Structure 1
Amino acid sequence: MNAELVSSELDSEPSWSRPTLAEASDDLPSWWNHPPCRLAVGQASRSGEGAARAFGSVPGSVRRAREFVASVLGEWAAEDVSEDVRLIVSEFVGNSCRHAVPREGDPESVPVVVELRRLGERGGVLCMVTDSSGKAPVKVDAHHFAESGRGLGLVAAFSSEWGWNPLVGGGKVVWAVCGGEA
């Protein structure tokens, strides 16, 4: 445990807090509830500052999402964060395909939306993945012989900040910021 993060007085407020998604960039208000987050499987959306694509909730979508990220970041000349964002998207999409698919229905028709946004003056790239589950991602302390459980630790290591927010109308967005000002 990091003693710097532990209050020395039981009644005192914590001296730090994780920034919210809205605090991550002042120039993109309410961005996680705008229409690209609600794309159907196979749909895409692009603008000068963002790109989004919806994939089915199946394992093959992880590879396709990484390819989408590499393509967009190549167009934006953001190769400096490409590997980090690809790793993070792999984790987020993999978790969505594994944990956020309803028991009923065809997983191929349940969308997982990958969205990338440029962060303007702050620099860097915001990576967001939305799915239909309102359940929070859970970071676990995986045993060194465990076959899973290290993904969100990798997300924390390869991003300057990350978190999740519930979506209006259901579901959630899991996000990470890579590059730019810390």
Structure 2
Amino acid sequence: MRSDKFHNRAKFIGAQVIGRSFINKYFNKFVYYDLEAKRVLEHRPLGALRKNVIRFDSQLEFEVFRVIARYFPIEHIDFHFKIELKPKTQYSGTTNYFVDFRVKTSLNEYLFLEAKGLMTKEASLKIKLLEILKPEIHSKLIICSAKKEFYFGKSYPSSVPLESLNNVILSNYATHRRY
């Protein structure tokens, strides 16, 4: 009975249950990480997530977090940071872009990182809106991909393969990483 309730809830939020694992609509497996214990959880915790447990939407997003966490304290990393692209009007609702990570690199300086395995039309549109409406954020956005064949090239900001992310952080933010 209990698994039916979780299965129905998972379908409602665009996810599927396979065994005891949860996957999202792009067939990425969610990763649950305990910040206090510094370990990946085997299964999704029942009920509401504790404040020290972070849900990553994919393994790639978790791998990007691991790279960032080597260079910046956890307190300086904002997960799934909301950027309002267009405010609510009487004719339409708010348009938001949720970037995977906002990292405080120094006093009032931020780096924005997005883990993308596949560039969807919606993500592409929101990145273009970000470029037009928030150029100061767009200029600090790095899109990280898992494989070189998913490298998004010059049409998107600073896209790098996962294996190059260490070098990008070291070369551009090495002076900011110690607090």
TM tier, smaller: under 0.3
Task: Give the TM-score normalised by the residue count of structure 1.
Answer: 0.27
Which one scores higher on RCO, CA 8 angstroms, separation ≥ 6?
Answer: 1
Of Structure 1 and Structure 2, the greater strand share is in 2
